[in-house]
Amino acid sequence: MNGAEAILKTLADNAVEVCFSNPGTSEMQMVSAFDREPRVRPVLCLFEGVATGAADGYARMAGKPGSTLLHLGAGLANGSANLHNSRRAYSPIVNIVGDHATYHRQYDAPLTSDIAGLAGPNSVWVKAGETPDQAADLTTEAIVASQTGAGGTATLILPADAAWNPASRTGPKAVVPPRPRPADGEIEAVARALKGAKKAVLLVGSGALTEAGVAAAGRLALVGVRVMVDTFTARQPRGAGRFTPDKMMYFGEMAMADLDGSDLLVLAGTQTPVAFFAYPEMPSVLVPPGCELMTLATPAQDGVWALQALADLLAAPERAVAAVEDIPDAAPTGDLTPYSIGASIARHMPAHAVISDDAVTSGLPVYLQTRGARPHDWLSLTGGAIGQGIPVAVGAAVASPGRKVLSLNGDGAAAYTVQGLWTMVRENLDVVTVIFANHAYRILNIELARTRSGNAGPQARRLLDLSDPRMDWVAMAKGFGMPATRCDTAEAFDAALARALAGHGPHLIEAVLG
Amino acid sequence: MNGAEAILKTLADNAVEVCFSNPGTSEMQMVSAFDREPRVRPVLCLFEGVATGAADGYARMAGKPGSTLLHLGAGLANGSANLHNSRRAYSPIVNIVGDHATYHRQYDAPLTSDIAGLAGPNSVWVKAGETPDQAADLTTEAIVASQTGAGGTATLILPADAAWNPASRTGPKAVVPPRPRPADGEIEAVARALKGAKKAVLLVGSGALTEAGVAAAGRLALVGVRVMVDTFTARQPRGAGRFTPDKMMYFGEMAMADLDGSDLLVLAGTQTPVAFFAYPEMPSVLVPPGCELMTLATPAQDGVWALQALADLLAAPERAVAAVEDIPDAAPTGDLTPYSIGASIARHMPAHAVISDDAVTSGLPVYLQTRGARPHDWLSLTGGAIGQGIPVAVGAAVASPGRKVLSLNGDGAAAYTVQGLWTMVRENLDVVTVIFANHAYRILNIELARTRSGNAGPQARRLLDLSDPRMDWVAMAKGFGMPATRCDTAEAFDAALARALAGHGPHLIEAVLG
């Protein structure tokens, strides 16, 4: 057994069963070892941002760590935008980054770089396994670290010789500490404040947004608390049969207007709400003046338990009011818009579908239309780094066999990590990818005005425009071996989506929006 | 004038005239300002790795800094693999990374990250311009820093409010210090050592490989020195009329055999040669036992002047022996191979073409076949992070109007930054992109054996294989609006290349290799 095998066995012994991989020479021992440890499934990605995004999607759906295999600092860098997103989702990821052999690092060979330095900003834990036995032990430590506190990326740097030299053991059994619970006194204080508040809001974020967390929050709605979720969450169980919270609005001034008059804001599994960006003379912190702020549970605490304890303390009814199934009977007609697409998705999406949303301006209309759709999970772009939708769908599909995955992508966003289409085809993943082709960075046309940058001149307009040339997403899908359909009316999209969802395996639909 | 305009004016005043951009909300003031500073040309890239690679290609051909505009830490991360490559090429890049407004950073909004931490490993200079005037001054400082010493990436972090608030001035005129020259005594010592050596080798790297540097090195060949270049160099002027040095071999044991018996190795504009990767029981440092190592000029010194001074000191003839034009008359026939492709390129490539080589295993055969081709510049993958070929071609074409650019890419490599094809179409760049479609990470099949990882089992083979599904590069090109041709014989490729090079504007050729 060499170091690579010891690592893979340690992963498998601790139920880390998938490794989204884009290896190079320094990772060849790991590549070879997959054949000797069949419990870990390698999934090849043609770009590292697909691998890390897939690990994120996997972790969100599997509720346990996905792993990656990346090639030194440059490979890590390519994967880092989606590790930024996964950091904001608190997704547990065991991020294995190969390095030169320990004795070779000193020579500053072309691929040498500061891997730990590059990993730090998006990792909760970074260590290098300098020998096979140390690498095996650190694999366990990484598995634990990725699931400790709120959860995050644990980056294990693996020098080539630590992989190829003989190992004497595998890593120990991973023991993940339970999330700490808030003290009883803290929950009682929140309960008292809620009783005294005139207009209280509970804001639930990714750290508490499991099915049980949503249900417990819904119970609190029955005792007069307005329940909201963050604009972007790792995974929101929703649709028929689930409680439907409100969503925090994206633009700060709208969020402030919506929260106007609230006198208490309670946080569960999230941070103080802030504007996504700063704008001249607009608020950064989205807490109305005079509104008291209390934390029920941080993302690192057991927010679900805290919500349940709070509901019990307030003698809230046992069951929340659940959304009633509300699905349009008839296909939408006329112009193809994000709203009509939302209606079609509500009509045809099967129960227990998973939505990976990187649709930017087109996402909210679909979200609003699927409020009463069959029960499903909604995975948001958590960190604002577009190019997450396709990769997260890859990982969600690997984690959730038997569930249909819908990947919603702005055309600008999809272009970042389009290589993920190939992995969907290779692994025959059951994903329908929708491209909202509006031929623009539409959000930036809005943001340009909001930042008071003046009227866009021809250069500025051209920097936000994707119509010259238009991308042909049907051809692009064909380039990666995926069947695809182009639609430009609501009726055509409805029919195409119905067909794609009735089948199995990957399909892409280009929705031409004007 | 706001901060954004002050920055653009400072760039323009100092001849930084192109900005490869992938902006977001925090960069909107810069986007808007391009219309008020027409001397800086924004070039939109659909992925940040295209922008940074293009800035690298631009810098290599223009001999002055290219600039970028990236979106916070996540955008920087996406661009960092090609900043790793550009670091190894010593390319001057002014890397402008937008950030949240200064007062907004503290709130940890979703896109907040440690930009300086992410930038450090691939930058020679990282500073944040916290006010408009500071940002303007630092723009000058960045321009200077990017060209000081060997050259590299200067990362200017630009908070949104430093861009939108009023500026009172632009940055001062950039004064780049000349590269220091080695002391006369050091050059004399090298000259003495060369006279005393039995078998001396001069290794020239990116830091000294200008047209004048190659010519001076060629003079030294006439006094008995074997002249070599590094395996991967930023830009090598070569072909008919230029001196032809040998190339350091990629695999360490081959390089060592090639250098066997050498008793003196002189470095000009490069570091001690080392193996690209470590392998069990293979050498890391590629200097034969007993061979003395001397540095004529580091990459940060004026290596071209040093080579000329050394040639004068050794009374070398004034002119090197130049390669004679040697172009195959007849089209290659039969199987399409990297060798036949090299012959076709030698036949049809016009004088002063630029080759961007990211063809991995297919690159060397083309390099060897074009030794006597019309004069051209060869731009190598300098840092080993594949996915450079298309982006560098974008930047080289922007820098070199009137020169034909050939982008050579392995299919695995091209998949990393395929989005660059779109920018070629939008900007109507005169680039012919060749995809060497061998449907594999071919190099890794070789490396797997060399790392003694054992026989590849089915999982390992699948991780190195790109044939399931095959990528369809003609469809992919169509997806980005580019005309394309597929060839699978030497004759067909020869004809297709001739047609593509006779035309103007972007074209892709998929060369199906077996």
Q: What is the pLDDT of residues B61-101, one digit of tens each?
A: 999 999 999 999 999 999 999 999 999 999 999 999 999 99
Alpha carbons within 13 angstroms on the beta-carbon side of residue B420 total: 37
Residue B407 pLDDT exceeds 90: yes
In this complex, which of A120, A418, A468 lies closest to B117 when CB atoms are compared?
A: A120
Is position B377 within any domain?
Answer: yes
Distance, in Å, from the CA atom of B501 to the CA atom of B350, rounded to the nearest integer, reads 8
Q: How far is CA B273 from the centre of its chain?
A: 18
pLDDT at B264: 98
Number of domains comprising chain A: 3
Distance, in Å, from the CA atom of B264 to the CA atom of B202, rounded to the nearest integer, reads 8
**Residues in chain A within 8 Å Cβ distance of B443:** 25
Interface residue of B20, B82, B84 to substitute, partner A, most A CBs within 10 Å: B84
A32-74 residue pLDDT tens: 999 999 999 999 999 999 999 999 999 999 999 999 999 999 9
Asked if residue B141 and residue B24 are part of one domain, the reply reads: yes
Asked if residue B144 and residue B269 are part of one domain, the reply reads: no
Is position B176 within any domain?
Answer: no
Is position B296 within any domain?
Answer: yes
Residue B454 pLDDT exceeds 80: no
Residue type, A130: E
Which residues, 6 or more positions from B101, have their beta carbon under 8 angstroms from its beta carbon? A278, B26, B159, B160, B161
Helix (H, G, I), strand (E, B) or coil at B90: coil
pLDDT at A444: 87
pLDDT at B167: 98
Structural contact between residues A509 and A341, judged by C-beta atoms closer than 8 angstroms: no
Is position B331 within any domain?
Answer: no
B308 lies in which domain range?
A: 184-313
Tokens representing A94 are 């065991």
Per-residue pLDDT averaged across B455-484, rounded?
96
Inter-chain CB proximity B104 and A278 less than 8 Å: yes
DSSP string, B409-432: EEHHHHGGGTTHHHHHHHTT--EE
B169-190 residue pLDDT tens: 999 999 999 999 999 999 999 9
> Tokens 């909202």 label which residue?
A436
Q: How many CB atoms lie within 10 A of CB B317?
A: 12
Structural contact between residues B111 and B98, judged by C-beta atoms closer than 8 angstroms: no
pLDDT at B42: 98
Q: pLDDT band at residue B273, thresholds of 50, 70 and 90?
A: very high
Q: In what order do the strands lie in the sheet with B264-268?
A: B246-247, B226-229, B200-204, B264-268, B292-297
- What is the pTM assigned to this prediction? 0.98
End-to-end CA distance of chain A: 59
Is position B175 within any domain?
Answer: no
Nearest C-alpha neighbor of B111 from the set B124, B121, B122, B97: B97
Inter-chain CB proximity A88 and B109 less than 8 Å: no
In this complex, which of B118, B271, B453 lies closest to A29 when CB atoms are compared?
A: B453
User: Among B111, B132, B164, which residue terminates a domain?
Assistant: B164
Q: How far is CA A98 from the centre of its chain?
A: 25
B118-174 residue pLDDT tens: 999 999 999 999 999 999 999 999 999 999 999 999 999 999 999 999 999 999 999
Asked if residue B209 and residue B238 are part of one domain, the reply reads: yes
Q: How many CB atoms lie within 10 A of CB B271?
A: 17
- Mean pLDDT estimate for chain B: 97
Asked if residue B356 and residue B282 are part of one domain, the reply reads: no
Chain A nearest C-alpha distance from B193 (Å): 25
pLDDT at B456: 86
Asked if residue A359 and residue A492 are part of one domain, the reply reads: yes
Q: pLDDT band at residue B498, thresholds of 50, 70 and 90?
A: very high
Tokens representing B254 are 């081959």
A264 torsion bin: left (phi>0), alpha (psi -120 to 50), beta (else)? beta
**Residues in chain A within 8 Å Cβ distance of B463:** 21, 23, 31, 34, 42, 44
Inter-chain CB proximity B471 and A479 less than 8 Å: yes
How many angstroms separate the Cα of B402 from the Cα of each of B280, B291, B405, B431? 48, 45, 9, 11
User: Among B280, B313, B346, which residue terminates a domain?
Assistant: B313
Is position A129 within any domain?
Answer: yes
Asked if residue B63 and residue B31 are part of one domain, the reply reads: yes
- Whether omega for the bond prior to residue A469 falls within 30 degrees of 0, making it cis, is yes
Nearest C-alpha neighbor of B264 from the set B198, B200, B195: B200
Asked if residue A388 and residue A451 are part of one domain, the reply reads: yes
**Residues in chain A within 8 Å Cβ distance of B121:** 73, 113-114, 117-118
Asked if residue A240 and residue A344 are part of one domain, the reply reads: no
pLDDT at B342: 98
Characterize A324-360 residue by residue with b for buried, 16 or more Cβ atoms within 10 angstroms of its Cβ, and e for exposed. eeebbeebbeeebbbbbbbbbbbbbbeeebbbbbbbb
Phi, psi of A83 (to 5 degrees): -70, -30
Chain A nearest C-alpha distance from B303 (Å): 20
Nearest C-alpha neighbor of A390 from the set A477, A330, A454, A460: A477
pLDDT at A455: 80
Pairs of residues, one from chain A and one from chain B, whose beta carbons lie less than 8 Å apart: 329
Asked if residue B56 and residue B152 are part of one domain, the reply reads: yes
Chain A nearest C-alpha distance from B445 (Å): 9
User: Among A313, A346, A367, which residue terminates a domain?
Assistant: A313
Name the H helices within B320-388.
338-348, 363-369
H or E stretch including B353? Answer: strand B353-358
**Structure-derived torsion over alpha carbons of residues B457, B277, B116, B23, reported in degrees to the nearest 10:** -60
Residues of chain A with pLDDT under 70: none
Q: How far is CA B284 from the centre of its chain?
A: 24
The CATH number of residue A378's host domain is 3.40.50.970
Asked if residue A214 and residue A154 are part of one domain, the reply reads: no
Q: How many CB atoms lie within 10 A of CB B178?
A: 7
Inter-chain CB proximity B471 and A422 less than 8 Å: yes
Distance, in Å, from the CA atom of B97 to the CA atom of B115, rounded to the nearest integer, reads 8
Phi, psi of A96 (to 5 degrees): -95, 120
**Residues in chain A within 8 Å Cβ distance of B293:** none
Is position A178 within any domain?
Answer: no
Asked if residue A391 and residue A264 are part of one domain, the reply reads: no
Residue B295 pLDDT exceeds 80: yes
Asked if residue B364 and residue B298 are part of one domain, the reply reads: no
Q: pLDDT band at residue B222, thresholds of 50, 70 and 90?
A: very high
Is position B169 within any domain?
Answer: no
In this complex, which of B29, B232, B450 lies closest to A110 when CB atoms are compared?
A: B232
H or E stretch including A431? Answer: strand A431-437
